[in-house]
Chains A and B, each alone.
Chain A
Amino acid sequence: DIVMAQSPDFLAVSLGDRATINCKSSQTLLYSATKKNYLSWYQHKPGQPPKLLFYWASIRESGVPDRFSGSGSGTDFTLTISSLQAEDVAVYYCQQYYSTPRTFGQGTKVEIK
Chain B
Amino acid sequence: EVQMVESGGGLVQPGGSLRLSCAASGFSFSNYAMSWVRLAPGKGLEWVSAISGPGGNTYYRDSVKGRFTISRDNSEDTLYLQLNNLRAEDTAVYYCAKDLYKYYYDSTIDYWGQGTLVTVSS
Contact = CB atoms under 8 A, between A and B. Distances in A.
Given A40-B108, A49-B95, A95-B108, A101 B47 contact: yes
A48 B39 CA distance: 12
Nearest to B45: A104
A87 B89 CA distance: 32
A34 B106 contact: yes
A40 B113 contact: no
Contacts, number: 56
Contacts of A103: 47
A17 interface: no
B27 interface: no
A104 B108 contact: no
A40 B59 CA distance: 19
A70 interface: no
Interface in A16-55: 34, 38, 40, 42, 44, 48-52, 55
A102 interface: yes
Interface residues on chain B, size class: 20 to 34
Contacts of A38: 106, 108
Contact of A61 (B35, B46, B110): B110
A100 B110 CA distance: 17
A107 B43 CA distance: 9
Interface string A39-78: 0101010001111100100000100000000000000000
B61 A93 contact: no
Nearest to B47: A102
A16 B44 CA distance: 27
Nearest to B59: A100
B76 interface: no
B112 A49 contact: yes
Contacts of B95: 49-50
B114 A97 contact: no
Interface of B: 35, 44-47, 50, 59-62, 95, 100, 106-115
